[in-house]
Chain A
Amino acid sequence: MMGRGTAVGSRSGMASDRSGYGRQRAARQRLEVISGHLGRQEASGACEGRQADDVHRNAVPRRRQDVLKWNGWGFRDSKFLFNKKGLAELTGKRYQLSGTLMPGLKDWFEGTFGANLQHRSPAVPALNPSVVPPPNLHAAFVEALKEATIPCTHEPEDRVFHSHGHCLHEIFALREGKIGRVPDLVVWPGCHADVVRIVELACQHNVCLIPYGGGTSVSSALQCPLEESRCIISVDTSQMNRILWIDEKNLTAHVEAGIIGQDLERLLREHGYCTGHEPDSMEFSSLGGWVATRASGMKKNVYGNIENLVVHIKMVTPCGVMEKSCQGPRISAGPDIHHFILGSEGTLGVVTEVTLKIRPFPEYRKYGSVVFPSFEQGVSCLREVAKQRCAPASIRLMDNAQFHFGHALRPQTSMFMSFLDGLKKFYITKFKGFDPQRLCVATLLFEGDQNHVLNQEQQVYDIAAQFGGLAAGEDNGQRGYLLTFIIAYLRDLGMEYYVIGESFETSVPWDRVLDLCRNVKERIERECKDRGVQFPPLSTCRVTQIYDAGACVYFYFAFNYRGLSDPMRLYEQVEHSAREEILASGGSLSHHHGVGKLRKQWMQETISKVGLGMLRSVKEHLDPQNIFGNRNLL
């Protein structure tokens, strides 16, 4: 559910953008930046970046709470509300949808959840610093940090900000003003050397380190373990955000791991490149976080998931720095040590620098959408696309409930447009005989050189036609992708009116996709009913990624909790059952959210006792003192 973040405003022009700017200018700029970086590093040691902080360059500053909500998703200036006329709108100017009115949302919202705009469940207005427990500081450690001139703070606001990710229960507690265990200190290393120093000091003084990247975890990974009695230090990597070099011969870039997605893409774009890695959270999530959770990007069909993108990783562990000695594209030298790091969720060390593959920024981009008479046929189509290996950069299939949800988010349109929509609807439901309560929509995003894209598009639409799919236009496709990154803002809106929700994902072999979707959705509905939820919950899913041997499925689950005594407990029980159902139906523990502490209990079942032992022995070797004590995963 984490909002599909994107570089602000950069989307709208892209569809028609071929080669936006002069090649020469680009090349010059590129050279300047590269030489600038290299020179800086050679001249003045590792930590120049610290002063050069780039308030103007980075979307997220050191004091995050200045720009981001302390108790909700995203930027402070952007939020959904129902205006006086009951029309929904997104405030601010950041997003393409900002400022547009969505007249259908209220009815959908009230009808789906049995909610009422009169019944509000507002959050506490501001953080009360007095409820934040006083920091348990380790004086000697703090002293040593200061000596090393590494910035740090124990301000309550910063500590609270670093104490959570974006799980429902975390945000719900913040909205109620409940603060649990928070880090005692937040520290901002500016470069690899700073991290080395911090880890050394931590080992020396036996304090607990919790690496913090973008803070978008949805697995309780950032929660401070209650049983931890040592001083807990949140290591915020956000100031390690430079591209250190770009290698155009090998198409790689060496980047500090604290950089967040939108900055990385923006900076690379200045040189005419991109990584193409676009997880839904890319507005806020960091490169190091992607590595640590085995992240997946929406456009992985073209660019690959994070494990396909990394060429080299540098990680600081309590034992020292771990890295490979060369940048060979593939190495047969025992198990790949990168795979100990990928998905380690901050339990082994801090990822400081990563060499990533980059690609020339795509020449051509095109959206598309297809309507299918039923979800079953949609899945068959996606399966065939995977089989023929002609997947566009992104292909997603929404079920009927999400189709209706997407429909509710349509902006107010002119008479003519709504007349046109009416015609389309008539064509699909009456002429083609699609049942509005069964049909579903796939959204498509093509990227690459124009010829290739157009051929691929033809192939995909041909396959879709075999499964009864009708092309439904570029607009619908594009809107689908716009919605993915505002959806987390919508959760905050729901929470204003007694509606809570969450998403979770899994990966599953093709032959079980339909069974899994049906079983999990039904399990959620049934658990809610059995536990006394009055109004049927929203229980819906979409297929978001396709692979040769299976797919990634996303579930959204939300319900109206008005009148329930302990909605969080109920919610957690339902989510727990849903995960059990996923595992029983042949799904995996997680496709890309990771395990954290939320799904830890299923690790042994997932990777076997022996597998767990292997991971444990790595942890014991690298970190016998449990310095990286966030207790995720194992």
Chain B
Amino acid sequence: MASRTLYSQRDPALKKRDDFEDILEERRNSSDLKYALKCYMPVLYKGVTPCKPSMIKTMVLQSEQLRYVVTELSKETGEATEVIQGEALAILEEMAHKLHLGTVRFFAYMLNKAFKVLYQRIRVNEDGIQRLQQAIQEHPLVLLPSHRSYMDFLIVSYLLYTNDLALPVIAAGMDFLGMKFVGEMLRMSGAFFIRRSFGGDRLYWAVFSEYVKTILRNGYAPIEFFLEGTRSRTCKSLTPKVGLLSIAMEPFFKGEVFDVSMVPISISYERVLEEALYARELLGVPKPKESTSGLLKARRILSEDYGNIHVYFGQPVSLRSLAQGRINRSQYNLMPRHISRRPGEDVQVFVNDVAYKMVRLQEESMVLRPWVLVATILLQNPHGVEAVWLAEQTAWLRGLAQAFGAFLDWPDHISASRAVASGLALHPNLVCTERGRVRLATEPKGPGARAPEEDLFNHAVTVLSCASYRNQVLHVFLRPALLAMAMDVAPTSRKDDVYSCFGYLRDVFSNEFILCPGAEVQDFDEACFLLTKCSAIQILKQDIVATERGRPTLSFLSAMFQPFLLGYQVVCRYLCEEVAESLPEKSYVAGVRSYAVKRILSGELACLEVLSSDLQKNVLAALLRMGALRKSKAGELVTLRVNKSAINTIENTLGGRVSTQKPVLARL
């Protein structure tokens, strides 16, 4: 099993991490203009002769792969090859970047100004930069940053420019092109644009993949893209998309490059610019269309304090080492390499595993500020807590998180109460302190009576925003918490019962959290190890039991994930109670939402996180995966068919109301 080798580190708390340095400090003391005009002479991939972006385009258009697809299409459609070649050129024009140093310098100047206003510090691990400098020269490079904010696009390039490293070519969604100037500006600073969906378009796929591969093969520039595909609105890592990654790996599989280095980059924001926007979006206010005027309006955010950014450049991961013993590259020997074909099962599984591994690496190096611990505690106590107790509790949680390997940015000399206070100060819109009690902020009831839905909606914005901070720490606690929940749910304390419940929960939640496929055993082992280490459980010969000391820990962990458990149950209940046999996919989210709102207003349900469309979509994906829902297509209309008994079973199992669930558990 591959993932076994992927995680050899037994005790995550022993993980060695680099130190950070603030790069803004130097910027504050020197001229922005001088900085923007500085001499920029990056090191390049082993002796590559630098070429212009237009050269790349020519290479793509003349590539055998593209010519082959063009000929094939021409044969199929009867259209002249010149016409199709013309279409390919148009696609390429729309897609290709036009890296232009002047624009980069302009951006550098502007960003400098903006960063200095917005952020207290931008902290980067210098060792990571050093490693990157080495890696750039040795092998083609793929940069894989986490994606929490639009800022991610700019910040990596900004840092590489600052450190005199080769600027990456960045895959961006086509929607940016909707923004006047900005799209083109991004293009000139190295972005290239891909359509969000082009499933069946072979020509598009050919141009796109050849473009990426040409850049990679020639080591022309590092390629940067977001494995998660889109900005995570919840600050939880999203399950990775593998399309671009598998394209980037192909030159290695086909022997066209010796190796490819993949560098996970974790960008953590103490306060995300889009915070409130995300929460609204999750609650069903559609995402505003990208527009320049929108961006200008966003200027008011310049007046607020967004704390620190931490950027951690991870250890470059060698694709060759990962593929060693897993991929038989000679499978590509029997066909001309320009004819692309569907990758074999082994390759698909491998790409998927690597994608998960990289996202896990991103997660592990995400810097957590004390505030996320505070948010975690506050969400479990929606009616507020004593400030003193909050500080104590935060200190306790800090110890637990560190034991579990969290990358906390909390220097030893800062006391818990100070840490809590500074966190609260940075998020006045989310929390308020009254007479020594801290609670989530609610807007004061205005004079005019508002609809209860509106109040609910406003409160939910706060809760979801707050949850987005708690979410940042979930990956640290996920495995132990799944074990804690499994112990709650399991009919007995016998090891195999607990294990099968653990596996079941893991399976249910595998669209919600980053759980590497096929790594049940390792995850279970890790969970057992961590909980034993902090004396929360004892592993006996046959059983796993909670210790007296450990009960608070276990119940805290369970409570942390309770919203998800509840959320999944609520959706199941909705499908059982409100849906006859099938429903159109389009009305799913709205249906769940109105059901949940009803239940909340009636007081049956207290958990507002159920309203998050992200959660609802994850449940949908999980139910489809588990076969409790089926999609059927009739023309444009996609219908979901509900398998009620399966849904019932899932709901009951999650609620721990079943002891005779053998058939379901046997599936594991």
Contacts and interface: CB of A to CB of B under 8 A. Distances in A.
Given A584-B329, A584-B330, A585-B329, A512 B255 contact: yes
Contact size range, A: 10 to 19
Interface string B523-542: 00000000000000000000
Nearest to A516: B255
Contacts of B255: 512, 515-516, 519, 584-586
A523 interface: yes
A57 interface: no
A519 B258 contact: yes
A522 interface: yes
Given A511-B336, A511-B337, A522 B330 contact: no
Contacts of A518: 258
B307 to A, nearest CB: 43
A586 B258 contact: no
A605 B330 contact: yes
A391 interface: no
B258 to A, nearest CB: 5
A523 B258 CA distance: 8
B258 A522 contact: yes
A515 B329 contact: no
Given A511-B336, A511-B337, A583 B330 contact: yes
A297 to B, nearest CB: 27
Interface string A571-605: 00000000000011110000000000000000001
Contacts of B258: 518-519, 522-523
- If over half of A's interface residues share one DSSP class (helix, strand or loop), that class is named, otherwise mixed; here it is helix
Highest count of chain B CB atoms <10 Å: which of A511, A523, A584, A585: A584
A584 B333 CA distance: 8
A519 B329 CA distance: 13
Interface string B333-349: 10011000000000000
Contacts of B328: 584
Contacts of B332: 586
Contacts of A585: 255, 329
Interface string A52-71: 00000000000000000000
Interface in B588-618: none
A511 B337 CA distance: 9
Contacts of A516: 255
Interface string A519-537: 1001100000000000000
A584 B252 CA distance: 11
B47 to A, nearest CB: 8
Interface in B336-391: 336-337
Nearest to B256: A515
Nearest to B318: A526
Contacts of B330: 583-584, 586, 605
A511 B254 CA distance: 11
A520 to B, nearest CB: 9
Contacts of A583: 330
Contacts of A512: 255, 337
A176 to B, nearest CB: 33
Contacts of A519: 255, 258
A515 B329 CA distance: 13
A584 B328 CA distance: 7
Contacts of A605: 330
Nearest to B334: A586
Interface in A350-373: none
Interface in B312-328: 328
B256 A586 contact: no
Contacts of A522: 258
A519 B217 CA distance: 13
A583 B336 CA distance: 16
A178 B216 CA distance: 50
Nearest to B336: A511
A302 B256 CA distance: 33
A449 to B, nearest CB: 39
Contacts of A586: 255, 330, 332-333
Interface string A95-120: 00000000000000000000000000
B335 to A, nearest CB: 10
Contacts of B337: 511-512
A132 B336 CA distance: 53
Contacts of B256: 515
B214 to A, nearest CB: 15
Highest count of chain A CB atoms <10 Å: which of B255, B328, B329, B337: B255
A313 to B, nearest CB: 32
A557 B332 CA distance: 26
Highest count of chain A CB atoms <10 Å: which of B256, B333, B336: B333
A531 to B, nearest CB: 15
Contacts of A523: 258
A602 to B, nearest CB: 10
B221 to A, nearest CB: 20
Interface string A589-624: 000000000000000010000000000000000000
Contacts of B333: 586
A74 B178 CA distance: 75
Contacts of A515: 255-256
A583 B330 CA distance: 6
Contacts of A584: 255, 328-330
A519 B332 CA distance: 15
Nearest to A583: B330
A522 B46 CA distance: 12
A253 B329 CA distance: 46
A523 B333 CA distance: 19
B344 to A, nearest CB: 15
A511 B65 CA distance: 13
B316 to A, nearest CB: 14
A539 to B, nearest CB: 12
A106 to B, nearest CB: 29
A570 B155 CA distance: 45
Contacts of B329: 584-585
B341 to A, nearest CB: 16
A515 B332 CA distance: 13
Nearest to A518: B258
B339 to A, nearest CB: 12
Nearest to A508: B333
Nearest to A523: B258
Interface in B257-300: 258
B68 to A, nearest CB: 13
Nearest to A585: B255
Nearest to B64: A511
A355 B255 CA distance: 43
B475 to A, nearest CB: 32
A602 B635 CA distance: 53
B138 to A, nearest CB: 10
Nearest to A512: B255
A177 B330 CA distance: 40
Highest count of chain B CB atoms <10 Å: which of A516, A518, A586: A586
Interface string A199-212: 00000000000000
A511 B255 CA distance: 11
A251 B336 CA distance: 41
B325 to A, nearest CB: 10
Interface string A493-524: 00000000000000000011001101100110
Interface in A397-427: none
B662 to A, nearest CB: 42
A605 B258 CA distance: 22
A153 to B, nearest CB: 46
Nearest to B323: A584
5 contacts: A522-B258, A583-B330, A584-B330, A585-B255, A586-B332
Given A512-B255, A585-B329, A586-B255, 11 more contacts: A511-B336, A512-B337, A515-B255, A515-B256, A516-B255, A519-B255, A522-B258, A583-B330, A584-B255, A584-B328, A586-B332
Q: 9 closest pairs, A vs B, by CB?
A: A584-B329, A585-B255, A586-B333, A522-B258, A515-B255, A519-B258, A584-B330, A583-B330, A515-B256
